[in-house]
Amino acid sequence: MGLAQKQPEPSTKIDGSLTSEYLQTLTLVERLHRQLLDVVKNELDRTSYGAINSVQALLLFNIGDEKMTAGELRSRGHYLGSNVSYNLKKLVQTGYLSHQPSPTDKRAVHVCLTEKGQQVRAIIQGLFDRQLRALEPVANVGAGDLQKLNGALLRLERYWCDHIRFQL
C-alpha cells in the first residue's frame, strides 16, 4: 500500500473531544462564510448598491487596483470556476468592470475595476474598517486571537489540500 493510500488503522481510537471540535469547526467555517455574505449584502442594500450580490462585491474588493484574469481570481480567491466566469461577465455587463485581452495570452482576458466598481470597493473597505474599529471593544477579538485563528485555519487548509492532492 502506497503512502498516499494510508488510512488510520480501524483499531485507532479517535479522541471524542477532537471529533466534536473538528465538526464544530466545519460548521463554523461554513456558517461564517454565509454570514460574511449576508453582512456584505446588508451593506450593499443600506448604501443603495443592491443591484449586485455579495459574491460580486467581494470579487470587486479582491480585484482592487490590479488587473487580473479569471484564472488568477480562482487561484487567489478559490472561487469556483463557472461562478467566477458568470460573475465577471455580469460585472462587465453592468459596468463595474472593464476587460481587455491579455497582450501575452490571446485566450485570457484581464479585468479591472471601473469607477463604478471602485465605488463598491470603497463601500466594502469602509464596512471592513468599521468592523475593525469595533472588533476588539465589542467582540473581544484582538490581533493575537486572529493570528492564532489564522494559523490554525492555514494549517487546516494545507491539510485539506494535501488530502485532495495525495488522496489521504
Q: Which three cell numbers stand for residue 138?
A: 465589542
pLDDT > 90? residue 139: yes
User: 75 pLDDT band (50/70/90 cuts)?
Assistant: confident
pLDDT > 80? residue 21: yes
User: 35 pLDDT band (50/70/90 cuts)?
Assistant: very high
Residue 136 belongs to a domain: yes
Residue 145 belongs to a domain: no
Residue 156 belongs to a domain: no
- The reported pLDDT for the residue numbered 1 is 44
User: 7 pLDDT band (50/70/90 cuts)?
Assistant: low
Residue 11 belongs to a domain: no
- The reported pLDDT for the residue numbered 104 is 85
Burial 107-146 (b: 16+ CB within 10 A, else e): eebbbbbbebbeebbebbeebeeeeeeebeeeeeeeeeee
Residue 60 belongs to a domain: yes
Residue 159 belongs to a domain: no
The range of the structural domain enclosing residue 79 comes to 16-140
Domain at 89, CATH number: 1.10.10.10
Residue 86: other Cβ atoms inside 10 A:
13
Residue 30 belongs to a domain: yes
Residue 20 belongs to a domain: yes
Number of domains observed in the structure of the chain: 1
